[in-house]
Amino acid sequence: MKYHIADMGLADRGKSSVDWANKSMPVLNSIKERFEREKPLKGVRVGACLHVTTETASLMDTLKAGGAEIALCASNPLSTQDHVAAYLVKYSGIPVFAIRGEDRDTYYGHISSVLDTKPNITMDDGADLVTMVHSERKELIPGIIGGTEETTTGVIRLRAMAADGVLQFPMIAVNDADTKHLFDNRYGTGQSTIDGIVRATNRLLAGSVFVVCGYGWCSRGVAMRAKGMGADVIVTEIDPIRALEAVMDGYRVMPIAEAAEIGDFFCTLTGNINVIRKEHFQVMKDGAIVSNSGHFNVELDIDGLKETAEYGGRIREHIDEYRLPDGRNIYLLAEGRLINLAAAEGHPSSVMDMSFANQALSAEYLTEFSKDLERVVYSVPTEIDREIARLKLRSLGVAIDSLTEEQKKYLNSWDMGT
Ligand code: ADE
């Protein structure tokens, strides 16, 4: 078996971390048990490009239990947990190509190694596999029945491909499932981003001015948690509806040019490029701490920062100092890469439980129904989404009501008034 990881000696540590994560993943565990019995993915090759974390290991073990052959690479050079990569190779027998801190060439080489296994299903977090298949590895297209995509950024890319008529196989947008973005993006990113910033800096958020760029589901989670820790939160937006929601949720909203002058912490989560630019860095306060929690490291104009400020060195793990000509310092976290996975461990297992249940069931759905699907981006079927919510509630010991016959009739009628 071919693989490329940092250190096989870390496998036992990886195993106990994965065991710990599994304790908070009841929905995925129940799918794994069914997969073990039914083998719905028998003979299907899955190529996965995901953050190599304990939760991803649980997903890989679930797919393998379902009969899939898997190869895994990282979806970000800085997010790999090397002990988990070692666990997957040693204990699960899964080829992993991922080393924390890998350079650009190694990162793309690893994606290529996964594609060398000729996957039938692609499983992406950021659309890197699909992009490479459509650009450099077109010969693989006939063997691919479809793919899944985990994140907002990837889904935006896929929709652009479908709109341009270039998408060559059906894709399922896992991100768009309610049991994914309403929980993973909001509560997962909310907690893990604050966790990353606090682990990297050990600074107090209470009493600080915390600028959140964007007000999508991820940014909402971060704004909510920063406020909960006592920060004065400012939101920047380009969408008038979202900006209005932020105002009514109790945040100050203003353009980044104004926020740049008063923020102590900055975090971008917009999915767009160059959200904080040179002119914004130039007006920041001495000591401003700047980070990104969006998928790609493009939201901060780091080249612009380097043009305007002199590199002062790595002053602490994950913190680079930049000195403006008048002596003010700006601190960049994790080289602008997603702070929640670079400086912390990503979203907690209990929220990834639902995201990865969507991934596992979407892979099963593609295996069964791909012949009926077009080359477009699909949502996760509503029945799957609702079943995941039901299973999660059950695991939490929460019961809910169901409609009475009378209520069902009322909802289907148009002639009953007061
Ligand atoms: N994305 C965010 N958090 C994650 C995690 N814990 N595992 C995999 N992907 C993630």
Q: Which residues contact 246 (CB under 8 A, 6 or more apart)?
A: 215, 223, 235, 237, 253
**Of 123, 187, 341, best ligand 1 pocket probe by most atoms within 8 Å of the beta carbon:** 341
Residue pLDDT, tens place only, 393-418: 999 999 999 999 999 999 999 988 77
Q: Which domain holds residue 300?
A: 188-342
Residue pLDDT, tens place only, 85-119: 999 999 999 999 999 999 999 999 999 999 999 99
Bridge partners of 46, per DSSP, are 70, 121
- For residue 3, being part of any structural domain is answered with no
Confidence of residue 339 (pLDDT cuts 50, 70, 90): very high
On whether both 81 and 114 belong to a single domain, the answer is: yes
**Of 79, 345, 358, best ligand 1 pocket probe by most atoms within 8 Å of the beta carbon:** 79
Task: Specify the pLDDT at position 43.
Answer: 96
- Measured between alpha carbons, how far is 324 from 322 in angstroms, rounded to an integer? 7
On whether both 277 and 382 belong to a single domain, the answer is: no
On whether both 241 and 170 belong to a single domain, the answer is: no
**Of 352, 354, 355, 356, best ligand 1 pocket probe by most atoms within 8 Å of the beta carbon:** 352
- For residue 166, being part of any structural domain is answered with yes
Tell me the CATH number at 317.
3.40.50.720
On whether both 66 and 174 belong to a single domain, the answer is: yes
On whether both 71 and 172 belong to a single domain, the answer is: yes
Task: Specify the pLDDT at position 234.
Answer: 98
**Of 61, 192, 293, best ligand 1 pocket probe by most atoms within 8 Å of the beta carbon:** 192
Distance 282 CA to ligand 1 centre (A): 33
On whether both 176 and 112 belong to a single domain, the answer is: yes
Residue pLDDT, tens place only, 252-309: 999 999 999 999 999 999 999 999 999 999 999 999 999 999 998 999 999 999 999 9
With a pLDDT cut of 90, the percent of the chain lying above it is: 98
- For residue 412, being part of any structural domain is answered with no
On whether both 154 and 260 belong to a single domain, the answer is: no
Residue pLDDT, tens place only, 359-382: 999 999 999 999 999 999 999 999
Atom of ligand 1 nearest to the CA of 192: 3
Task: Specify the pLDDT at position 416.
Answer: 81
On whether both 216 and 320 belong to a single domain, the answer is: yes
* 55 Cβ inside 6 Å of ligand 1: yes
Helix (H) or strand (E) holding 123, with range, is strand 121-124
* 51 Cβ inside 6 Å of ligand 1: yes
- For residue 414, being part of any structural domain is answered with no
* 56 Cβ inside 6 Å of ligand 1: yes
Atom of ligand 1 nearest to the CA of 348: 6
On whether both 303 and 226 belong to a single domain, the answer is: yes
Distance 412 CA to ligand 1 centre (A): 41
* 347 Cβ inside 6 Å of ligand 1: yes
Pairing of strands 329-333, 319-323: antiparallel
Instruction: Decide if 363 contacts 63 (C-beta within 8 A).
Output: yes
- For residue 417, being part of any structural domain is answered with no
Instruction: For residues 29-39, give the mean pLDDT.
Output: 98
Q: Which residues contact 105 (CB under 8 A, 6 or more apart)?
A: none
On whether both 271 and 127 belong to a single domain, the answer is: no
Q: Reduced to 3 DSSP states, what percent helix, strand and coil does the chain have, rounded to the nearest 5?
A: 50, 15, 35
* 18 Cβ inside 6 Å of ligand 1: no
Number of domains observed in the structure of the chain: 2
Distance 226 CA to ligand 1 centre (A): 20
On whether both 49 and 107 belong to a single domain, the answer is: yes
On whether both 48 and 84 belong to a single domain, the answer is: yes
Task: Specify the pLDDT at position 257.
Answer: 98
